[in-house]
Amino acid sequence: MKKKLLTLGMIGAMALSLVACGGSSDTKVIEGNTSSTATNSETGAAGFGFSYNGVEISVDADVAPVLEKLGEPKEEFTSPSCAGQGDGHLYTYDDIQIQTYPEGDKDLILYVALRTDNVATKEGIDLSSSKEDILAAYGDPTEETYSSLKFRHGDVILVFIFDGDSLISIEYDSLKN
């Protein structure tokens, strides 16, 4: 009986940690418009990059200059970060969401999610695109499941998530955390 209670307690604790840390990828949404291959904390990780309203946004880059250029988000949510010591932030704009993780005295971009079909990747893929459009633009995926296509470049993974045939999310995710 004690083993069962201990096991249930451990499972419950793990489930709560996933909820607190955003363990569900279907809550992310992203976008993009230009390419970047820089690798420092100012410009981000080597891999996929994009722009939104003329602002270059790269995963693993310092979020402060991005937020300064984009202006006040519609919403901001702060919670303890699973990717580092301190708080992570989720900034919601009209078309994108940006989530951060703490790294020293900076907040770096953990992921960016497309929220609408008003934004597109550098290759022109938006939420109205088909699986065939994505494959034509990016080639063979690094990983494919029944509900997603993943493309890795450097320390960034570009994820396209489907519900049936409908593209419901595009995400640029850091592989560093």
What digits encode the pLDDT tens for the residues 39-80?
A: 333 444 446 878 899 999 999 999 999 999 999 999 999 998
CA distance linking residue 23 with residue 15, whole number of Å:
9
Residue 133 has pLDDT above 90, yes or no: yes
pLDDT, average across residues 4-15: 35
Which range has highest mean pLDDT (29-33, 38-42, 120-124, 147-151)? 147-151
CA distance linking residue 22 with residue 78, whole number of Å:
12
The tens digit of pLDDT for each residue in 57-67 reads: 999 999 999 99
Model pLDDT, residue 49: 75
Mean pLDDT of the chain, nearest integer:
78
